[in-house]
Amino acid sequence: MTMTQSMAGKTVLITGASRGIGAAAARAFAEAGARVALSARNGDAIAALAGEIGKDAIAIPCDVSRYWEVAAAVEACRSAFGGIDVLVGNAGMIDPISPIDAADPDSWGKAIDVNLKGVFHGMRAALPVMKAAGGGTVLTVSSGAAHAPLEGWSAYCAAKAGAAMLTRAADLEGRTHGIRAMGLSPGTVATDMQRVIKASGVNPVSQVDWEEHIPPEWPARTLVWMCTPDADEFIGTEISLRDPAIRKQVGLA
């Protein structure tokens, strides 16, 4: 089965689908034959993207930090397409970039609400639907920040570390129910988030030349590949696009 046929008949819900990795993933899954439900706070952006993709895409405005909105998004996906086969937990934010001793507590908490609780909200809403259908795939967009502290990124690092552990927990609890849970650490990607990081001037990531960032289409293609049997050996783990062997398996340049 080729990548262009691999998702035929499947339904994918993507959070943070208005731009960057999320928007690229929406296009990649659609090209692979999937029906895609696009979720983000920016309703205009996801509506435009759904219009670009066509009849097999719907836009669902949603703030992942609010569980009831995520639950409603899953229900809208079920109503439109009959179920949900893949959840891509991609929504995230880098702010606040600040030392711990100067961080605004409300902004710090908002980052946890989006980057960690948002991942939980997606799983909590989607997993019962998947289990009832006999299984599904849960993909969390992770980060190297999940595994190493970076100056000024305490909220982002803490949340990503939590989301990585949450994905492992989903595997532990869900594998016998047909759940395939995995994380993807894409490395640095040429998105708006990297522009914010660059402008901050804080920690080594802000000093990375733009040309060194990978295009968002690379993690997008990898997310599609992770839904295929070729990725079964990585169930319950996190794969990194910094690994040349992974890039070769996915078929990236």
Asked, for residue 209, whether it belongs to a domain, the answer is: yes
Asked, for residue 4, whether it belongs to a domain, the answer is: no
Region 214-237: mean pLDDT is 96
Which residues 6+ apart lie within 8 Å of 122 measured at CB? 13, 15, 64, 70, 74, 87, 89, 138
What pLDDT digit, counting tens, does each position of 38-94 carry? 999 999 999 999 999 999 999 999 999 999 999 999 999 999 999 999 999 999 999
As to burial, measured by CB atoms within 10 angstroms (0-12 exposed, 13-18 middle, 19+ buried), residue 142 is buried
Output the CA–CA distances (angstroms, integers) from residue 84 to 8, 95, 217, in the order listed. Answer: 13, 31, 23
At 61 the pLDDT is: 97
**Cβ atoms of 222 and 241 closer than 8 Å:** yes
Give the rounded distance of the alpha carbon of 29 from its chain centre: 13
At 212 the pLDDT is: 81
Query: How far is it, in rounded angstroms, from Cα 77 to Cα 188?
Result: 30
Asked, for residue 5, whether it belongs to a domain, the answer is: no
What does the angle CA 38 – CA 41 – CA 42 come to, to the nearest 5 degrees? Answer: 80
Asked, for residue 3, whether it belongs to a domain, the answer is: no
Mean of per-residue pLDDT scores for the chain: 94
Which residues 6+ apart lie within 8 Å of 207 measured at CB? none
1 confidence band (pLDDT: 50, 70, 90)? very low
Asked, for residue 2, whether it belongs to a domain, the answer is: no
- Among residues 128, 143, 36, 27, which one has the least CA distance to residue 94? 143
At 3 the pLDDT is: 61
Residue 131 structure tokens:
């289990």
Active site residues: 156
Q: Which of 7-16, 64-73, 199-208 has the lowest mean pLDDT?
A: 199-208
Asked, for residue 166, whether it belongs to a domain, the answer is: yes
The residue type of 188 is T
Q: Domain range holding 29? A: 11-250
Output the CA–CA distances (angstroms, integers) from residue 129 to 67, 83, 134, 136, in the order listed. Answer: 15, 7, 9, 9
Specify the CATH number for the domain of residue 208. 3.40.50.720
> Between 189 and 33, whose confidence is greater?
33
Percent of the chain with pLDDT over 70: 98
Q: Per the structure, how many domains does the chain have?
A: 1
180 confidence band (pLDDT: 50, 70, 90)? very high
Query: How far is it, in rounded angstroms, from Cα 179 to Cα 181?
Result: 6
Asked, for residue 1, whether it belongs to a domain, the answer is: no
What pLDDT digit, counting tens, does each position of 118-150 carry? 999 999 999 999 999 999 999 999 999 999 999
